[in-house]
Amino acid sequence: MPVTAAIGAQWGDEGKGKVVDRLAAEADIVVRFSGGNNAGHTVINERGKFALHLVPAGIFYPHVVNVVGNGVMVNPEALVEEIEGLEKAGIDVGKLVISPRAHLVMPWHILQDAAIERGRGENAIGTTGRGIGPACADRALRISLRMADLVDDERLEAGLRLNLQLKNPVVTGVWQAPAYELEPLYERYRALGRRLRPMVQEAYPLLRQAAADGKRILFEGAHGVMLDPDFGTYPYVTSTPPGVSGIAQGSGLGATDLDRVVGIVKAYTTRVGAGPLPTELHGQTAEDLREAGDEYGTTTGRPRRCGWFDAPVVRYAAQLNGFTELAITKLDVLDSLRTIRICTDYTIDGKDVAFPPGESQLLARCTPVYEEMAGWQSPISALSTYAALPPQAKAYLVRLEELVGVPINLVSVGPRREQMVWK
């Protein structure tokens, strides 16, 4: 693999956890570079079913060093809880490295996230409520605390003092919540700092050296390209870059270090939260897909909106990120369908649209152009080779490759680690 990126090509929830878990078997280092505990990566292996939010999905392999890069927005309470959950399940977290440059998500960010959503009323984004947007805003304002501050008592106190001075008037006056008190907050975060301190280590030189030594590095994307703050469906997006552009900023290795970029693509389309979704289905077919695919958010449990495969979106994601191959997930969810539709293109007022428009209002006006293919109507989850897939399933995959312009390498046919076939 040498240096590989695994990137969600739709609106998140493409099954990155499972693909990364599989690819991590051949990795020396797995790196999260973006997102926070708004992300949810499900991994099912012989140890059980795990929902990871901040810890990279390479954690189940004892040989893998797992890095929480500087681009990850870290809620230290959530991170400690996740680490302790893994430890309870007997997973060794001894090789977890957390960048001291990673910014912290604090309680007031969560309050602000909720307050902004309330203020937006019916235009609410449907955030995960984890405070990611406000934490990113404070990073830009240069007032946020970082991991390096959390593990240094003096800097922690100074950072908290500054933040309470700036935040408390808004907390009490605007959000009508009780003021934060320095002393208890300091004690609580100092304890978290003590817990995490052994894992805090500058990650950049470690990654740079690993790349120079030809080590196998896997970058684990969070969310999906259509949630990118610039290239997604703004304002219905997240606040950190989910694609390869986030790798340089969020880890220090850049585009020219990447040998392989795997676009992770669900065999159909889902989205949680508000915003346009051109191929969205309603009624029974949507219900059937949601149930068959267990399409409920890993982080919030919300039902996901479901739709047909949207080739313009995945083509766009492939171009933006330079996908060298695709991993198709959840193909088995389509097992029982008699016919399957694929959106090949969009039109607005009868005119072709070359790629998903940058304005959500325009994307909402796009009419999908569909073609229909025969379903395979047989269970594929027990199949262990690509050759054994029914001809209709192979025809579907070949059509996806043609429409996206990138070859498929891996196909997932069930939730378990071994339910994957290489093409």
Question: What count of other Cβ atoms lies within 10 Å of the Cβ of residue 178?
Answer: 9
CB of 223 to ligand IMP, least distance (A): 5
The type of residue at 17 is G
Q: Which residues contact 5 (CB under 8 A, 6 or more apart)?
A: 218, 219, 221, 244, 247, 258, 260, 261, 262, 321
Q: Does 273 bind ligand IMP (CB under 6 A)?
A: yes
Q: Does 342 bind ligand IMP (CB under 6 A)?
A: no
CB of 156 to ligand IMP, least distance (A): 25
CB of 128 to ligand IMP, least distance (A): 3
Figure out which of the listed residues 37, 66, 128, 279 binds ligand IMP, where binding follows CB under 6 A.
Answer: 128
Q: Is 137 exposed, middle or buried (0-12, 13-18, 19+ CB in 10 A)?
A: middle
Is the Cβ of residue 85 or residue 126 nearer to ligand IMP in the bound state?
A: 126
CB of 112 to ligand IMP, least distance (A): 11
Q: Which of 21, 28, 41, 53 is catalytic?
A: 41
Can you give the C-alpha Rg of the chain in angstroms?
A: 21
Count of chain residues binding ligand IMP (CB under 6 A): 20
Question: What count of other Cβ atoms lies within 10 Å of the Cβ of residue 214?
Answer: 10
Figure out which of the listed residues 133, 159, 276, 414 binds ligand IMP, where binding follows CB under 6 A.
Answer: 133
Contact window for ligand IMP (CB under 6 A) among 70-78, 199-207, 234-242, 390-398: 234-242
Distance CA 154, CA 149 (A): 8
Q: Does 3 bind ligand IMP (CB under 6 A)?
A: no
CB of 238 to ligand IMP, least distance (A): 3
Q: How far is CA 1 from CA 61, 67, 107, 329, in A?
A: 16, 18, 39, 20
Q: Which of residues 39-78 bind ligand IMP (CB under 6 A)?
A: 39-40
The sign of the CA dihedral 268, 20, 25, 93 is negative
Q: Which residues contact 45 (CB under 8 A, 6 or more apart)?
A: 21, 60, 416, 417
Catalytic, 13? Answer yes
Catalytic, 223? Answer no
Q: Does 146 bind ligand IMP (CB under 6 A)?
A: no
Distance CA 53, CA 74 (A): 10
Catalytic residue set: 13, 41
Residues of this chain that interact with ligand IMP (CB under 6 A) are: 11-13, 38-40, 125-128, 130, 132-133, 223, 227, 236, 238-239, 272-273
